[in-house]
């Protein structure tokens, strides 16, 4: 199976492309909503609460044990 991402520059042509692709029985169409690029740092407050890990241990886990 191959996956191909299509970027349709003209928003008015989206329905046309989707309808065209729907005629091919070997193509499965999955639509994804555009994710927001805005990240709210304060929404993550408390996500590490209650975890017994310090910054060094976290760094080791992030780098798969490689010391930097």
Q: Which residues of 9-18 are buried (b: 16+ CB within 10 A; e: fewer)?
A: eeeeeeeeee
- Cα–Cα distance, 19 to 11 (Å, whole number): 14
**Chain centroid, CA 49 distance in Å:** 25
What is the pLDDT, as a whole number, of residue 58? Answer: 82
Residue 66 has pLDDT above 80, yes or no: no
The DSSP 8-state label assigned to residue 35 in this structure reads P
53-65 residue pLDDT tens: 888 888 888 887 5
Residue 67 has pLDDT above 60, yes or no: no
Residue 9 has pLDDT above 80, yes or no: yes
29-41 residue pLDDT tens: 888 777 667 777 7
Q: Is the pTM of this model over 0.75?
A: no
Is 58 in contact with 67 (CB distance < 8 Å)? no
- Cα–Cα distance, 3 to 27 (Å, whole number): 10
């Amino acid at each position: 199976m191959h996956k191909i991402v299509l970027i349709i520059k003209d928003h008015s042509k989206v329905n046309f492309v989707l309808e065209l692709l729907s005629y091919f029985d070997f193509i499965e169409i999955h639509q994804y909503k555009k994710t927001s690029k805005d990240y709210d740092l304060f929404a993550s407050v408390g996500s590490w609460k209650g975890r017994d890990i310090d910054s060094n241990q976290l760094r080791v886990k992030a780098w798969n044990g490689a010391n930097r």
